Structure 1
Amino acid sequence: MATSKAGLDLGRAAYDDHRWGEAFGHFGDAHREGGLPAADLERFATTAFLTGHSRVGTDALARAHEEYLLTGDVPAAVRCAGWLGIHLLNTGEAAASSGWLARGTRLLEEVDEPGAAEGLLLIPAAVAKLYGGDAAEAAALFGKAYGIGTASRDRDVASLAQLGQGQAQVMLGHAAAGLELFDEVMVAATTGEVSAIPCGIIYCATIGTCQAVFDLPRALEWTMALDRWCEGQPELVLFSGQCHAHRAELYALRGLWDEAMAAAAKAQERSAHGDPQARFGGFYYQGEVQRLRGLFEAASTSYRAAADSGFDPQPGMALLHLALGEVQLARRQINDAVAAADATWRSRLLCGLVEIELAAGDFAAARSAADDLGRFASGYPAPMPRALAAQADGAVLLEEGEAAAALKPLRTAWTLWRTLEIPYEAARCRMLVAKARRRLGDEETALMDFEAARKELEELGARPAMATVDALIGANLLGGPAASAAVPGPLTGREVEVLRLVAAGKSNRAVAVELFLSEKTVARHLSNIFAKLEVTSRVAASRYAYEHGLMA
């Protein structure tokens, strides 16, 4: 066995080479044999956090704090207290985090020139303001921390503060300015100016915010950079799961659903082994793919697992209830989520809100949400926000009876989705274009668009959306008999059409619009369906439709 001194030298060498697992082992051996000096205890803590041994990390960092106090290095002790507060907050131990941050603040009073340690303690305080809804105060605190970090030439503190400034700008509605700050701070991360843990925080927070404001090109670019960073450190656990979660979202958008499921599974595995921040994304994007494929029970399980992370799995969960015909529950969930969301996350909920309010027949609420999305897109005119806003505007105009006016924004959105290579949304938008053309009397072109959309959805395996297309055009899609002809089972062709739309989450009013019927006629058809299937709810009827292949 190597001596304590030899093991310590090996640990330091592995640490400098970013061989985190090897360094963790050597530092651990040296610590057990004869103890570690304070600086090496800090290194040991870092390797423990990065390899998924968070409890060992907090214990080592606490010991380093005590050693620094014994040697009279109070600023270093404050630095340890600050990082303990940050790590404990990330693992959900809010009370312990608060205690360490309070201790660090008290110790600062004993130091004439605290330097970078003071700036580090400002960062969790600023984060609390940011997520407490006071982005302006957060920006001021981050600015102060940035000034301290710059003056003391501490790149970790300065870069984390600059990251926070970018997040605050986004929450204040200045997305373009915030993203410029992210680009600048990412230079420090990608050139190795920042140490490992702050670097991982910067990567993941930057990508998460880019995805929140629908900046797909930036999210893709920085996810690829995070991939390279993680691949260069094969023993890394912390942050690697979040990398897979970000990948899962991008794969899902691009229609690579099998790859998205594989990435989500890796995120879940890394979450269980020391990257807890990956849990939400790992399960949420798994649920998204399952929902779009019509695997509703599996999607519900995934969303509930995502919720265990402490974050609300929206809009996915609400859209799942919509797909099951539980329109009012979907409305309650999405409206509650919008009311509770910060400015950044709210933009991700608006599209779901538009879709659900349209299904519920509340066109005024849908118009309000679409207008909010339009304002967001006008403030940050990137391709994906523009596509989302244009599609929402067109969908609402269509339901408001303005088919001619709806065509322009819908065509714009369709073009943008194809340019962005987001096939599911492109197909859904083409369905809306087809509906507008049908209502304008151009049945031939509408049918061509419906058929093209269905082909794209079939390639993806998006069964619920395929069912919606089938319900709109009936058996004529395949050149077969008219939709009103008899079908296997107890239901008539018209009842199958009604059931398909109900199972796709449409309200009676929306079904009536789609099939050119009165709401009273739709209600009568639904009553007959319930009686024939011996069920008493829309949910039960929807499940029958999926279980008996009526949605295909």
Structure 2
Amino acid sequence: MDAPTALDQGRTAYREHRWTAAVTGLDAADHEGAVTASDLEHLATAAMLVGRFEDGVDRLTRAHEAYLGDADVDGAVRCAAWLGMQFMLRGDRARAGGWFARAQRLVEQHEPAHPDHGFLLIPEGLAAFYDGDGEHAAVVFERAGQLARAADDADLVAVAGLGLGQAEIMLGRIEAGLALLDEMMVAVTAGEVSPIPSGIVYCGMLQCCRLAFDVERAHEWTRALDHWCEQRPDMVSFTGQCHAQRAALFLLHGAWSEALAAAQEAQLRSERGDPDGLFNAWYQHGEVLRLRGDAAAAEASYSRAAGTGWEPQPGLALLRLAAGEAQLARSMILAAAERVDEAERRVLLAAVVEIQLAMGDVPAAREAADELATLTRSIAAPMLRAIAEQAEAAVLLGEGDARAALTASRHAWARWLELDVPYEAARCRMLAARACRALGDDASAAMELDAALAAFADLGAGQAIAAADAEWSASRAPRPGGLTAREVEVLRLVASGRTNREIAGELYLSEKTVDRHLSNIFGKLGLSSRTAATAFAFRHGLAD
């Protein structure tokens, strides 16, 4: 049996999704002059998947020309349309327009044998979508899908279905849009769609899950995307987006070190050949750093995210708020909210509420909370409802209705617990603490505050801890050594001879929280032992 040629090796590697080997084999065959137009098209795809975008463009251009030489108009139109798609996704609208125009001219020159090609409707649908015209986008993508099904073009069916699903979500028809995207994902996971449109649909689906606050779907399809990428270990395209999505999920569920690592991996992979993942890679990186309290590093990350052409909101506005620049934060978040469609606006409204309350503009915060509640009623998304209930609790507190605020904060807290989102659950306990204090229930306020601070400490949420310390210290009468009310309670029990376990049982705290309080007491008072702490308590009248 003859040894396999470079062409044989390249074709086999392509079928087996070994993209680097496919590039090596097909490239060698190309230099030998042994490739067909189809081989060039596959070589272009493999090159793009391993991050060699310009090489891919060059080979796809040559594939287009080879198809023309073979009088294969369908192949030539397909290559021209995909070149247009690639440039449009990269933001190069001039080159995209040129390739789409060439594809259109080919179709027109060869009618009626080659009727309107569905791919040529994609730029019109995308333009309508980017302009915020969801109705027109939906009509165009629906027509593109009809033409794709008539031509039995699985790639175009998937791309058109993604566009239609995104348009439905933009128009507020969340369940219909997600159901359509699920259908497209079935075709992708079944291997019916070629690699590049598969990656586009995967990443588009996860973006839609974010806009719909559908955590369960996001988990399911992120796992599927992970598996898809793992089966193609030398692939670069889409892996930056994959790791950025993983970072967002890690952040949500309180695994912040893992989120930081995933964001850094997303940055590396995006820079190697997946630029569409770069914004989210840097944005999620900035979010972790902001919540940890590292303002300067978060600022730098948000700046890198902004360099991709997208606004790093609401993170940047919330960073400004934490720095005491509430007026600037409000200007930023309101401007961002005005520039986006309804789906993106939902992502920003909770931050609008928080910032308006910080400015003391309770009516404006109420307006934003009511808008969020209205948008929530028609959407079966527990996460969005938790966000809306949390915003409602904060506004009720601002309006002086502490009892209703306490009820709303506890409802939101329960939802966040079900969703396993510890940071937001702790923020709800902070709201509950404020409500209890306003109702004169200092004991319950201390309990809620301790629980929130313990959760923040476990997460390493330095920004939230600093904000809580500043807020609650300002409202308390001075105590010896600057101790908090809870620290005084712990010190009193230490002076009475209780162990940490006994103190935890008496105050309904964990031993870990008691350890933290005791460490804070020693640090504030400059002490190093329980004996010294007991003596301090007696000297200052803090012992029973």
Q: TM-score range by the shorter chain?
A: 0.7 to 0.9
The 3-state SS of whatever aligns with 1:393 is: helix
Structure 1 residues 189 and 485, CA, compared in 2 at 3 Å: closer, same or farther? same
Q: What are the Cα deviations for residues 2-27 of structure 1, in whole angstroms up to 9, with x where unaligned?
A: 99x81111111100011111101111
Instruction: Tell me, yes or no, if the aligned pair for 1:211 and 1:219 is still in contact at 8 Å.
Output: yes
The correspondence of residues 123-522 of structure 1 with structure 2, limited to 5 A, is: 123-474=122-473, 484-485=478-479
CA-CA distance at 1:116 after TM superposition: 9.1
Report the residue type matching 2:439 in the other structure.
L
The 3-state SS of whatever aligns with 2:117 is helix
Residue 32 (structure 1) aligns with: 31
Q: State the shift of 1:447 in Å.
A: 0.6
1:333-359 deviation digits (Å, cap 9, x = unpaired): 101100111222111111111111110
| Letter aligned with residue 329 of structure 1 | L
Determine if contact 2:244/2:277 at 8 Å carries over to the other structure.
Answer: yes
Q: In the alignment, is the contact (CA less than 8 A) between 1:170 and 1:178 conserved in 2? A: yes
Contact 1:391-1:409 at 8 Å conserved across structures: yes
2: distance between equivalents of 1:486 and 1:127?
Answer: 64
How far apart in 1 are the matches of 2:65 and 2:286?
Answer: 45
Could you tell me which residue of structure 1 aligns to residue 77 of structure 2? 78
The answer to which of 422-431 and 107-116 deviates more is 107-116
* Equivalent residue, structure 1, for 2:518: none
Tell me, in whole angstroms, the C-alpha distance in 2 between the residues paired with 1:284 and 1:293.
14
**SS of residue paired to 1:34:** coil
Q: Give me the whole-angstrom Cα distance separating, in 2, the residues matched to 1:301 and 1:120.
A: 40
Deviations, residues 395-436 of structure 1 (Å, cap 9, x unaligned):
001001111121222111000001100000000011001111
Q: Does the 8 Å contact 1:115/1:148 carry over to 2?
A: no
> What's 2:523 paired with?
none
What is the alpha-carbon distance in structure 2 between the residues aligned to residue 472 and residue 304 of structure 1?
Answer: 29
Partners of 1:264 and 1:124 lie apart in 2 by 31
The question of whether the paired residues in 1 share the 8 Å contact of 2:317 and 2:329 is answered with yes
> In the alignment, residue 423 of structure 2 is paired with which amino acid?
Y
Q: Is the 8 A contact 2:433 2:448 kept in 1?
A: yes
Q: CA deviation at 1:154?
A: 1.1
**Counterpart of 1:255 in 2: which secondary structure?**
coil
Q: Which residue of 2 aligns with 1:19?
A: 18
| Alignment match, 1:68 | 67
CA contact (8 A) 1:358 1:366 kept: yes
| Cα deviations by residue, 1:241-294 (Å, 9 ceiling, x for unpaired) | 100000000000001000001100111001111000010011000000000001
Shift of 1:115: 6.2
Structure 1 CA distance, aligned partners of 2:112 and 2:387? Answer: 51
Superimposed CA distance per residue, residues 198-246 of structure 1 (whole angstroms, 9 cap, x where no aligned partner): 1111100001110122111101110000000000110110001100000
The TM-score, its normalising length taken from structure 1, stands at: 0.85
Q: Aligned pair in 2 of structure 1 residues 186, 117: CA closer, same or farther (>3 Å)?
A: farther
What is the CA–CA distance in structure 2 between the aligned matches of 1:151 and 1:115, rounded to whole Å?
13
Corresponding residue number in structure 1 for 2:539: none
Q: Secondary structure at the match of 2:187?
A: helix
Residue 10 (structure 2) pairs with residue 7 (structure 1): no
> Aligned partners of 2:481, 2:19: CA distance in 1, in Å?
63
Question: What is the CA–CA distance in structure 2 between the aligned matches of 1:40 and 1:469, rounded to whole Å?
Answer: 62
Cα distance, 1:475 vs. partner? Answer: 10
Q: Secondary structure at the match of 1:314?
A: coil
Tell me how far apart the structure 1 counterparts of residues 412 and 163 of structure 2 sit (CA, whole Å).
Answer: 32
Counterpart amino acid of residue 478 in structure 2: S
For residue 87 of structure 2, what is the aligned residue in structure 1? 88
Compared CA separation, residues 164 and 318, structure 1 to 2 (3 A): same
Cα separation, 2, equivalents of 1:231 and 1:111: 42
1:471-507 C-alpha deviation (Å, 9 max, x unpaired): 344499xxxxx7524769xxx99xxxxxxxxxxxxxx
Q: 1:131-177: per-residue Cα shift (whole Å, max 9, x none)?
A: 11111011001000110111111111112111111100000011111
Q: Distance in 2 between matches of 1:150 and 1:271?
A: 33
Larger Rg: 2
CA contact 2:236–2:272 (8 Å) conserved in 1: yes
**What's the CA shift for 1:469?**
2.4
Q: Does the 8 Å CA contact 2:389/2:409 hold for their aligned counterparts?
A: yes
2:425 corresponds to which letter in structure 1?
A: A
Structure 1 distance, partners of 2:301, 2:283, is: 6
Deviates more, 1:29-38 or 1:256-265: 29-38
State the structure with bigger RCO (CA 8 A, min sep 6), 1 or 2. 1
Shift of 1:297: 0.4
Count of aligned residue pairs for this structure pair: 483
Unaligned runs of 5+ in 2: 485-544
Match of 2:5, SS?
helix
Shift of 1:65: 0.9
Tell me the amino acid that sits aligned with residue 291 of structure 1. R
Task: State the TM-score, normalized to the length of structure 2.
Answer: 0.86
Q: Using a 3 Å threshold, how does the CA distance of structure 1 residues 18 and 127 change in structure 2: closer, same or farther?
A: same
Distance 2:235 2:337 in 1: 36
Task: Show the counterpart of 1:121.
Answer: 120
Q: CA deviation at 1:73?
A: 1.3
Q: Distance in 2 between matches of 1:401 and 1:194?
A: 56
8 A contact 2:7–2:34 mirrored in 1: no
Q: Which moved more, 1:290-299 or 1:68-77?
A: 68-77
Write the deviation string for residues 337-386 of structure 1: whole angstroms up to 9, x where unpaired: 00111222111111111111110111111111111111121121211000
Q: 1:146 and 1:114, CA in 2 relative to 1: closer, same or farther beyond 3 A?
A: farther
Structure 2 CA distance for aligned equivalents of residues 29 and 132 of structure 1? 44
Q: Give the AA of the match of 2:271.
A: A
Tell me the alpha carbon deviations over residues 482-539 of structure 1, each in whole angstroms, 9 at most, x when there is no partner: 7524769xxx99xxxxxxxxxxxxxxxxxxxxxxxxxxxxxxxxxxxxxxxxxxxxxx
Alpha-carbon contact 2:170-2:343 (below 8 Å) kept: yes
Moved more, 363-372 or 274-283: 363-372
- Alignment partners' CA distance in 2, 1:418 and 1:66: 58
Contact kept in structure 1, 2:215 and 2:383, CA below 8 Å: yes
Q: Give yes or no for contact 2:389–2:411 (8 Å, CA) kept in 1.
A: yes
